Amino acid sequence: MKTSGYYHIWLIGPDSHYVTRLCHRLSMNPDHLVRRFTTVALALAYRSAATAMPNALILDGDGPEGLPRRLVRKLSERLPTAHCFVLASEPDAEMEEELLSQGIDHYLLKDLGSPERIWEALAAARQPTAGASPAPHAQEAPAGMLLGQHASMHQVRELIAKAARTTITVSVSGETGTGKELVAQAIHAQSGRAGQPFVALNMAAIPRELLESELFGHEKGAFTGASARRIGRFEEANGGTLFLDEIADLELVLQAKLLRVLQERAVTRVGGSQPVPFDVRLVVATHRNLAAEVEAGRFREDLYYRLLGLPIELPPLRNRGCDILLLAQEFACTFSQFNKLPARAFSTEARQRLLGYAYPGNVRELKAVVELATVLADGEHIEACDIPFRTAPAARAADPAAGGRSTLTFPSLREQTIAIMQDSLSALNGDVVAAANRLRVGRSTLYRLIQSGHLQLP
- 181 and 212 share one domain: yes
Q: Which residue has the higher pLDDT, 138 or 83?
A: 83
Range of the domain at 194: 151-313
- 340 and 306 share one domain: no
Q: pLDDT exceeding 70 applies to what percent of the chain? A: 81
pLDDT in tens, 347-358: 989 999 999 999
Q: Give, for 242, the enclosing helix (H) or strand (E).
A: strand 241-245
Identify the pLDDT of residue 300.
95
| C-alpha to C-alpha distance for 13 and 41, rounded to whole angstroms | 11
Give residue 189's pLDDT band: very low, low, confident or very high (50, 70, 90): confident
Using the predicted structure, report yes or no on whether residue 124 has a pLDDT greater than 70. yes
Look at the alpha carbons of 318, 323, 328, 330 in this order and tell me if their dihedral is positive or negative. Answer: negative
| C-alpha to C-alpha distance for 274 and 285, rounded to whole angstroms | 29
Using the predicted structure, report yes or no on whether residue 397 has a pLDDT greater than 60. no
Q: Is residue 22 part of a domain?
A: yes
Domain boundary (125, 143, 165) is at 125
- 113 and 215 share one domain: no
Whether the Cβ atoms of residue 138 and residue 51 lie closer than 8 Å to each other? yes
Averaged pLDDT for residues 415-422: 72
- 410 and 324 share one domain: yes
- For position 431, which CATH number holds? 1.10.8.60
Domain boundary (313, 335, 353) is at 313
Identify the pLDDT of residue 66.
55
- 85 and 229 share one domain: no
Question: 3-state DSSP call for residue 313?
Answer: strand
Q: Is residue 176 part of a domain?
A: yes
Flag the least confident range among 23-37, 57-71, 207-221, 441-455: 57-71
Whether the Cβ atoms of residue 290 and residue 284 lie closer than 8 Å to each other? no
Whether the Cβ atoms of residue 115 and residue 22 lie closer than 8 Å to each other? yes
Question: What is the separation, in whole angstroms, between the first and last Cα of the chain?
Answer: 41
Residue 21 φ/ψ, nearest 5 degrees: -65, -40
Domain boundary (81, 110, 125) is at 125
- For position 31, which CATH number holds? 3.40.50.2300
Q: pLDDT exceeding 90 applies to what percent of the chain? A: 28
User: CB-based burial of residue 413 (10 Å sphere; 0-12 exposed, 13-18 middle, 19+ buried)?
Assistant: exposed
pLDDT in tens, 321-379: 888 988 898 888 888 877 878 878 899 899 999 999 999 999 989 999 999 999 999 88
Please name which of 226, 229, 241 lies closest in space to residue 278, comparing C-alpha atoms. 241
Whether the Cβ atoms of residue 11 and residue 23 lie closer than 8 Å to each other? yes
Q: Is residue 139 part of a domain?
A: no
Q: Is residue 83 part of a domain?
A: yes
pLDDT in tens, 270-303: 888 888 999 999 999 999 999 999 999 999 999 9
Using the predicted structure, report yes or no on whether residue 227 has a pLDDT greater than 80. no
Name the pTM for this structure.
Answer: 0.62
Using the predicted structure, report yes or no on whether residue 314 has a pLDDT greater than 60. yes
Give Cα separations from 336 to 47, 344, 345, 375, 450 (angstroms): 21, 8, 11, 9, 34
| C-alpha to C-alpha distance for 243 and 241, rounded to whole angstroms | 7
pLDDT in tens, 101-117: 766 777 777 776 777 77
Give Cα separations from 49 to 36, 147, 150 (angstroms): 15, 5, 10
Using the predicted structure, report yes or no on whether residue 222 has a pLDDT greater than 80. no
Give residue 407's pLDDT band: very low, low, confident or very high (50, 70, 90): very low
| C-alpha to C-alpha distance for 382 and 387, rounded to whole angstroms | 8
List % helix, strand, coil for the chain (3-state, nearest 5).
Answer: 45, 15, 40
- 99 and 17 share one domain: yes
Alpha helix (H) residue ranges in 165-222: 180-190, 208-216
| C-alpha to C-alpha distance for 148 and 152, rounded to whole angstroms | 9
Question: 3-state DSSP call for residue 179?
Answer: coil
The amino acid at 210: L
Averaged confidence pLDDT in the chain? 79
Q: Is residue 287 part of a domain?
A: yes
**Rg (Cα) of the chain, in Å, rounded?**
26
Pairing state between β 241-245 and 198-202: parallel
Averaged pLDDT for residues 413-438: 75
Question: 3-state DSSP call for residue 267?
Answer: strand
Give residue 121's pLDDT band: very low, low, confident or very high (50, 70, 90): confident
| C-alpha to C-alpha distance for 99 and 94, rounded to whole angstroms | 9
Q: How many CA atoms lie less than 13 Å away from 432 in the CB half-sphere?
A: 13
- 349 and 445 share one domain: yes
Q: Is residue 65 part of a domain?
A: yes
User: CB-based burial of residue 292 (10 Å sphere; 0-12 exposed, 13-18 middle, 19+ buried)?
Assistant: exposed
| C-alpha to C-alpha distance for 457 and 453, rounded to whole angstroms | 10
Number of Cβ within 10 Å of residue 264's Cβ equals: 12
- 392 and 282 share one domain: no
| C-alpha to C-alpha distance for 400 and 335, rounded to whole angstroms | 28
Q: Is residue 132 part of a domain?
A: no
Q: Is residue 135 part of a domain?
A: no
Number of Cβ within 10 Å of residue 41's Cβ equals: 14
Whether the Cβ atoms of residue 153 and residue 327 lie closer than 8 Å to each other? no
Q: Which residue has the higher pLDDT, 148 or 358?
A: 358
Tally of domains in the chain: 3
Please name which of 264, 246, 247 lies closest in space to residue 300, comparing C-alpha atoms. 247
- SS3 track for 6-72: CEEEEEECCCCHHHHHHHHHHHCCCCEEEEEECCHHHHHHHHHHCCCCCCEEEEECCCCCCCCHHHH
Give residue 132's pLDDT band: very low, low, confident or very high (50, 70, 90): very low
- 394 and 347 share one domain: yes
Q: Which residue has the higher pLDDT, 408 or 277?
A: 277
- 170 and 239 share one domain: yes
Using the predicted structure, report yes or no on whether residue 269 has a pLDDT greater than 70. yes
- 111 and 64 share one domain: yes
pLDDT in tens, 21-68: 777 777 767 677 788 777 777 777 666 655 567 888 888 876 555 555
- 191 and 292 share one domain: yes
- For position 231, which CATH number holds? 3.40.50.300
Give residue 70's pLDDT band: very low, low, confident or very high (50, 70, 90): low
C-alpha torsion 45→46→48→50, nearest 10 = 170
